[in-house]
Amino acid sequence: MSKNKPAKKKVVVVTQKKTQPTVSRSRTSTNSAPAREMVFGQETYIWMGIGAALVFIGMLLMTGGAMPNPDVWDENIIYSTRRTLIAPIVIIAGLGVEIYAILKK
C-alpha cells in the first residue's frame, strides 16, 4: 500500500423520525373523569355551623370572672351557675348538633 492514497471516508446517513409527544398514563383530563358528588350537602354544613356556634357561645359563657379587688376572693363570681352549669350544657348541645349533622346523611 502506498502512503499517498487518502483513507476511505464512511458516509453515515441519518433520517429523522417524526415522533409523537408522550402521553401521560394518568387521567389528567377533566373530560374523562366522572363528576364527584360532595360528601355533605348544604343542609349538613348549616347544621355544622349551628353546632360550632353553640360551642363558641358556650365558651364565651365560661369566660370572665375577674375579681374587682385582687385581695378579695369571691366564690360567687368564680363558681357561678352560668359558668358551672349553663356553659357546659350549651357546649355539649353544640357537640350533639355536630354529631347529628355528620350522621344525618
pTM: 0.61
Average pLDDT of the segment spanning 52-71: 91
pLDDT at 68: 85
**Residue 56, domain extent:** 48-63+76-105
Q: Report yes or no on 4 lying in a domain.
A: no
- H helical segments located in the chain: 42-62, 75-78, 81, 87-103
Ramachandran sector of residue 75 (left: φ over 0; alpha: ψ -120 to 50; beta: rest): alpha
Q: Report yes or no on 95 lying in a domain.
A: yes
pLDDT over 90 for what percent of the chain? 42
Handedness of CA 46, 49, 51, 57 (dihedral sign): negative
Return the CA Rg of the chain: 38
**CA-CA distance, 58 to 55, in Å (whole number)?**
5
Residue that the C-alpha cell 346523611 belongs to: 105
pLDDT at 16: 76
The C-alpha cell at 13 is 446517513
What is the number of domains present in the chain? Answer: 1
Alpha-carbon distance values, 89 to 70, 85, 94, 99 (Å):
30, 6, 9, 15
Picking from 4-13, 60-69, 78-87, which range would have the lowest pLDDT averaged per residue? Answer: 4-13
Average pLDDT of the segment spanning 21-32: 62
Alpha-carbon distance values, 66 to 49, 58, 90 (Å):
30, 18, 22
Q: Report yes or no on 83 lying in a domain.
A: yes
pLDDT at 15: 78
Q: What is the pLDDT confidence band of residue 2, given thresholds at 50, 70 and 90?
A: low
70-102 pLDDT per residue, tens: 888 888 888 899 999 999 999 999 999 999 999
